[in-house]
Amino acid sequence: MAALPREIVATAIRTGASARAEVGSAPRFKVGDAVIARNMNPTGHTRLPRYIRGRRGVIQRNHGGFAFADTRAHGLGDQPQYVYSVRFEGRELWGPDAAVRDAVYIDLWESYIEPVPSR
Amino acid sequence: MNGIHDLGGMQGLGPLIREPDEPVFHEEWERRTFACLILTLAGGQYTVDELRHSIERMDPARYLSTPYYEHWLHSAEDLLDKKGVVTREELARRAAEIAARGRD
């Protein structure tokens, strides 16, 4: 087992180990883009919550590149992707009974979302 | 995976319990579990995402009825066993030793 240098312990616990990583390609989405969360049901690890699958949202922010949890959870490496903050309206998620001002912001890796198809 | 951990949108789980002066650890074993987890992560035994997935694979009823640090303990044992760092027999033997000795 690798040794943990004493001097990094306090910082590591305070900040957590960052998963930030460079992505080699340009971002697929920009702020304001309408997107749809993919409907997928992998048996492995994913950070894509069930209640947004197939729902529409709007990109609010690009957080930059981060190691992909879905591959890191299975020994498949970092495979970094851009992570976006996406806003989903309450009524899109919960239907007409939801309060009109309710919304959920969820950080999503790029492969979790697709462009809303143009009509 | 579509597991019990993905609680978003579920109803009937009762109110959130807020503690006015919530301690970082409620029990000594939680403090030790935290330390063990950090050491195994820093030592490169597994990634935090493997840990998360191990927690997701807990028995659903047990997941809902156990505190947060028990999820960590469960998964540390699970992963250290799977990766051959410690065996279930070693864990059971050590747990029996500690139980025989009584609380610290």
- The CATH number linked to B88 is 1.10.472.20
Residues of B in contact with A12 (CB under 8 A): 38, 42
Q: Is A50 at the interface with chain B, CB within 8 A?
A: yes
Instruction: Say which amino acid occupies A110.
Output: E
> In whole angstroms, what is the distance from residue B52 CA to residue B46 CA?
10
Q: Kindly tell me if the per-residue pLDDT of A16 is higher than 70.
A: no
CATH T-level fold of A21-115: SH3 type barrels. (2.30.30)
Walk along chain B (104 residues) and give the pLDDT tens digit of each residue. 999 999 999 999 999 889 999 999 999 999 999 999 988 888 888 999 999 999 999 999 999 999 999 999 999 999 999 999 999 999 999 999 989 997 65
Residues of B in contact with A50 (CB under 8 A): 2, 6, 8-9
- List, for residues A38-76, the tens digit of each pLDDT value: 999 999 999 999 999 999 999 999 999 999 999 999 999
- Kindly state whether residue B23 falls inside one of the protein's structural domains: no
Chain B, window 52-71: residues with a beta carbon less than 8 angstroms from a chain A beta carbon: 52-53, 56
Burial class (CB in 10 A: 0-12, 13-18, 19+), B12: exposed
* Domain with B73 in it: 28-101
